[in-house]
Amino acid sequence: MDTRATCLNCMDGRVQLPILTWIKANYPVDFVDVITEAGMDRVLAEQEDISEIIRSVEVSVKLNKSTRFFIVGHYDCRGNPIDDDGHRKQVIEAVKRLRQLYPSQEVLGLWVNNKWQVELVCVPRSDLDV
């Protein structure tokens, strides 16, 4: 059976390949469902109505059997033009929100730095129980 993960990422094309490559290299998944929105970290952390994103997440979880979420923020985000620390905080808040909505899923936060390298912002439950 295929294994799947769900990536909630910015729509910026510069971050797609580094993120997908990193996920596949570090986690045993066959496929990664990608849900994009300009400034996804801000949207998940601060936007009240995320029903359209959740609709896609539900397809990924219920139909595609995804078991792990990756939430991404990145350097030089044009859809969310704030400093790097602000992005990292939003990624953490987004992770907390998704963990509350999907407590049985593993949810990780990722940051793509100015060299287009992927860094772990928060890991499964151990650093941020909510």
Q: Are strands 118-122 and 106-112 parallel, antiparallel or unpaired?
A: antiparallel
User: pLDDT tens digit string along 28-75?
Assistant: 999 999 999 999 999 999 999 999 999 999 999 999 999 999 999 999
Please state, in angstroms and as integers, the Cα–Cα distance from residue 34 to each residue in 15, 37, 76, 81, 127, following that order: 12, 10, 20, 22, 25
To the question of pTM greater than 0.95 for the whole model, the response is: no
CA distance 87 to 2: 32
Look at residue 128 in the predicted model and tell me its pLDDT.
Answer: 47
Domains present along the chain, CATH in parentheses: 4-122 (3.40.1050.10)
pLDDT tens digit sequence for 73-126: 999 999 999 999 999 999 999 999 999 999 999 999 999 999 999 999 987 655
Q: 80: how many CB neighbours lie within 10 A of its CB?
A: 21
d(CA 34, CA 6) in angstroms, rounded, equals 6
